[in-house]
Amino acid sequence: MKTIATHKLLLAALVLAASCKPSTPPETEAKGPFLDLAGRDTSVRAQDDFFTYANGAWFNQVEIPADQTGWGSFYTLYEENQKKTRLLLEEVAAAKAPKGSVEQKVGDYYAAAMDTMTIEKLGYDPIKSELAKVDAIKTVQDLLDFIATQEYNRGGAFIGINVYPDDRRSDINRLNLTQAGTGLPEKDYYFKKDGATKAIRDAYVKYMVEIFTLTGETDQAKAGQRAAAILKLETEIAKSHKSPVELRDPIANYHKYVVADLNKETPNINWTNFMSKMGIKTDTILVGQPAYYKSLSTLLKSTPIEVLKDKLRFSLVDDAANYLSSPFVHAKFNFYKILTGQPELQERWKRAAAQTDNHLGELLGQLWVKKYFPPDAKARMLTMVNNLQIVYKKRIEQLDWMSPETKQKALAKLNAFLKKIGYPDQWEDYSDVTISRDNYYQNVLSAQRHVWNKNLKKVEQKVDKNEWQMTPPTVNAYYNPSFNEIVFPAGILQSPFFNFDADDAINYGGIGAVIGHEMTHGFDDQGSQYDADGNLTEWWTKQDRERFTERAGIVVSQYNGFKVLDSLNVNGQLTLGENIADLGGITLAYEAFKLTEQGKSDEKIDGYTPDQRFFMSWANVWRIKDRPEQLRMRINVDPHSPEQFRTNGPLMNFEPFYQAFGVKEGDKMYLLPKDSAKIW
């Protein structure tokens, strides 16, 4: 799951490993096949590798669809949600809904996205006027004026700009600047010497050459020179960037500036003028990574203007590519498939459905939840959330490493959690968005203009905690430290995470652990630095923070030891927050499960005790297989560990799992008590 600063789951004999083999047949029949017993690999002992024991046969036999970067729980549910969305979109697209209605906007957006005949005929005509503006740029000031007013992407290729709550004063929205200017996933892609990374850089240059060719460059040698110059510029830019690990430190990435002071540090960027062009009135800017903007100021002066313009041209086309004709779509995809290993582009309807969700999320969401999300699912989910909150309260009260002073503040934060389930209580207003059936790109611009105008109005205004950062159909969940909220969109509240007909072991091992995971994000190495009101402030005693950091260090060391590909290991520091959340998630979900009738019983289903069934559900939720290229990229940039280790890592530190499956010293899942991570 994702912490918001917003992602980021053979037919076998039905027997367990010998050490926990049932002596009697199952006493109770399940209502449905809530566990995939055929997906197990019982040649692997549960005590040695629980992920493979629970999922190994499935993992070895499953073929990742050609249009996917991986396959498994999250993917299959997303696919099912897309099919539901498609039925809904085709239904509203075929209806003659009144102009301006939710149905008209959603249906016409999808219809325009599916109108390939018109899109192919237009080619890149929709962006030619913007490219002409780039051609007219003569000076750096012209360039800055252009990106300040660029309608579809304020800040353009060089300025990362948004509006978020002030970390130190979470009730006020501030203008935020973050590092930008690179097209590869993170800074090390510009410097690593290994063959895989070099191949990605080569593919990036090839992609830029193709974009220049598609937009009129006839000299291939010159196109290559232009692309090489952009790569050189981005390499210089990357030197000033922070790494993904460094970006996880909220204090080190918080810098409040008066505009005049920022002007002095970046003499070639006049922020007073830049913000005036954007229509922003404020004297306060939060800058996440000042080193980037100091470097950018220097580079704007030292880089030839034609190189800067070429970077703008490429960025403009790259941003628009998925909304243009097929040569542009395929050029972009051919680069990204080198990054992810995905062999084939998704069908048009899948991309159109996703883009409808991206641009009109809460309009689509209104229709989606009405059709697919029953009220009783929301009510049952809220009950589970409240149960886990009660469990977390007891765990905090019983901690032996935290002082009473810090416990009091931790409990205040826990009690202040804002809980959002399914969909917003107040839907976003899209009255300023104009959608037609015959102009897909203008529909995109209208939706993007709406987002910018909404953000513009928020600068220096009070924060509205009714806002959501994910749309209702999304298969994900998040904790937002500034809002101190846990959020579970309707899209994830379905099998395998949540099944209204399943027994409690299944749901607590699935969505229960997701709930506990998001709650724990409020107290992981990042979230724990924000207080009950969402302010970045130290509310711990010095001794308690040191004890927490010591325990977190054990988690880092454990995950650093997990090997993924060849000599590539999990980055324990990058994934620390998610790993802590996984540890907390399984702990809280298990204790909440033990309060249920099934959790108190020993009645078996499918040969498993309730506890074993709980852990099998946990393993099935993290049943995911990635392409090697995707996995390699995830290790570099994703704060989530690969799913094998999201399954096994927490269980290796969890005594109830040892008891349920008879894990003993000498087993590969066993850790000595002194080596075990115990935090929440």
Cis peptide before 8 (omega within 30 of 0): yes
Contact 667, 48 (CB under 8 A): yes
Q: How far apart are CA 74 and CA 93, in angstroms?
A: 28
Tell me the mean pLDDT in the region 430-447: 97
Looking up tokens 């002007």 gives 263
Q: What is the tens place of the pLDDT at every residue in 224-274?
A: 999 999 999 999 999 999 999 999 999 999 999 999 999 999 999 999 999
Virtual torsion, Cα 62, 68, 74, 77, nearest 10 deg: -90
Q: Which CATH number do you get for residue 419? A: 3.40.390.10
Q: How far apart are CA 215 and CA 134, in angstroms?
A: 13
Furthest C-alpha separation in the chain = 82
Least confident of 13-22, 122-131, 189-198: 13-22
Q: Establish if 628 belongs to a structural domain.
A: yes
pTM given for the model: 0.93
Residue 347 confidence (pLDDT) above 80: yes
Looking up tokens 């309060």 gives 595
Contact 234, 227 (CB under 8 A): no
Output the pLDDT for position 380: 87
Do residues 541 and 407 share a domain? yes
Number of domains in the chain: 2
Do residues 279 and 415 share a domain? no
Burial bucket for residue 370 (CB in 10 Å: 0-12, 13-18, 19+): exposed
The contacts of residue 381 (CB under 8 Å, 6+ apart) are 421, 422, 488, 493, 498, 511
Q: Establish if 14 belongs to a structural domain.
A: yes
Q: What is the tens place of the pLDDT at every residue in 469-517?
A: 999 999 999 999 999 999 999 999 998 999 988 999 999 999 999 999 9
Tokens at 233, concatenated: 């510029």
pLDDT band (50, 70, 90) for residue 24: very low
pLDDT band (50, 70, 90) for residue 357: very high
Q: Which CATH number do you get for residue 141? A: 1.10.1380.10
| CA 26 centroid distance within chain | 40
**Side-chain-side CA neighbours of residue 630 (13 Å):** 18
State the Cα angle at 481 between 409 and 535, rounded to 5°: 60
Residue 565 confidence (pLDDT) above 90: no
Secondary structure of 277-308 as H, E, C letters: HHCCCCCEEEECCHHHHHHHHHHHHHCCHHHH
Q: Establish if 94 belongs to a structural domain.
A: no
More confident residue, 319 or 29: 319
Tell me the mean pLDDT in the region 410-427: 97
Residue 370 confidence (pLDDT) above 60: yes
| DSSP H helix total and E strand total for the chain | 27, 12
Q: Establish if 109 belongs to a structural domain.
A: no
Q: How far apart are CA 98 and CA 498, in angstroms?
A: 36
Q: What is the tens place of the pLDDT at every residue in 456-472?
A: 999 999 999 999 999 99
Q: Establish if 332 belongs to a structural domain.
A: no
Do residues 379 and 313 share a domain? no
Do residues 392 and 496 share a domain? yes
Domain boundary among 322, 356, 390: 322
Contact 482, 463 (CB under 8 A): yes
Tell me the mean pLDDT in the region 34-40: 95
Q: How far apart are CA 390 and CA 388, in angstroms?
A: 5
Do residues 155 and 298 share a domain? yes
Residue 8 confidence (pLDDT) above 70: no
Q: Establish if 75 belongs to a structural domain.
A: no
Do residues 40 and 133 share a domain? no
Domain boundary among 262, 287, 322: 322
Do residues 56 and 175 share a domain? no
Do residues 400 and 318 share a domain? no
Element (H, E) at 89: helix 73-94
Do residues 538 and 604 share a domain? yes
Do residues 56 and 145 share a domain? no
Burial bucket for residue 442 (CB in 10 Å: 0-12, 13-18, 19+): middle
Is the alpha carbon torsion for 602, 606, 608, 614 positive or negative? Answer: negative
Residue 577 confidence (pLDDT) above 60: yes
Q: Establish if 390 belongs to a structural domain.
A: yes
Tokens at 355, concatenated: 């883009």
Do residues 38 and 131 share a domain? no
Element (H, E) at 141: helix 140-149
Domain that holds residue 511: 2-63+374-427+467-675
Give the number of other CB atoms < 10 A from CB of residue 122: 17
Residue 342 confidence (pLDDT) above 50: yes
Q: How far apart are CA 348 and CA 364, in angstroms?
A: 18
Do residues 306 and 401 share a domain? no
Residue 638 confidence (pLDDT) above 60: yes
User: How far apart are the two ends of the chain, measured CA to CA in Å?
Assistant: 18
Q: Establish if 455 belongs to a structural domain.
A: no
Pairing of strands 284-287, 169-178: parallel
